[in-house]
Amino acid sequence: MAKAGMSVGGQMVDESAIEAVVARLQAAGGVEGAEPHPRAGELVLPDGQPAPRCIRLWAAFDNSYPLNGGRSSVPVADNEGVLAVEPMDRVLRRVCLESIEDEIDDETTEYLEELIEDLAADLPGYGVVLANEHPDPVLWISASAEVSVLWYEHDAFDRQILFRDLVAEL
């Protein structure tokens, strides 16, 4: 994963990309429904740690996550300034198992339980499902505070984009 200021795909990316997109969107009259979070600069993770800067910058423009060239219906944070995320093992359980558990047998359930355990080991941190669609878009805040959106389909996350790049596409 890229760090702020590192090159990804030959392009320099850092939080200034988010600032530039926000400035462009504001100059163009904003985005329908976009409303800044009143505590954007003070947002924290559920454990009290400061939220990643890229999310705080975005929340100063809109309290809904960006997705698919528009806005997700998922809020960035609650009124107290706590990000609306949960531990990734819970997010993975929801995406991998709970969303289909009424359609699967015991053997598949056991397989998915093991898959969730493996994925949780590979994806520590926090997350949130950004939309009820297929493939499932999941915002992931890694243990090192890097933020990406991953798409879950067919027992794997085979597409990933850095949050900064997702915003830059707007």
Identify which of 10, 14, 3 has the alpha carbon closest to the alpha carbon of residue 167: 14
CA 32 from centre of chain: 21
Give the span between the Cα atoms of 8 and 41, in whole angstroms: 26
H helices, E strands: number in the chain: 5, 9
> What does the block give as tokens for 17?
């990309």
Q: What is the pLDDT of residues 138-169, one digit of tens each?
A: 999 999 999 999 999 999 998 999 999 999 88
Q: What is the pLDDT of residues 5-60, one digit of tens each?
A: 333 333 334 678 899 999 998 888 878 889 999 999 999 999 999 999 999 999 99
Give me the DSSP letters along 53-78: HHHHHHHTT-SEEEETTEEEEEESB-
pTM for the structure as a whole: 0.87
**pLDDT for 12:** 36
Q: What is the pLDDT of residues 71-104, one digit of tens each?
A: 999 999 999 999 999 999 999 999 999 999 899 9
Give the span between the Cα atoms of 66 and 160, in whole angstroms: 15
Q: What is the pLDDT of residues 112-129, one digit of tens each?
A: 999 999 999 999 999 999
**Degrees, nearest 5: CA angle 151-54-166:** 35
The domain ranges of the chain are 7-168
Rounded-to-10 torsion of CA 121, 73, 134, 149: -40
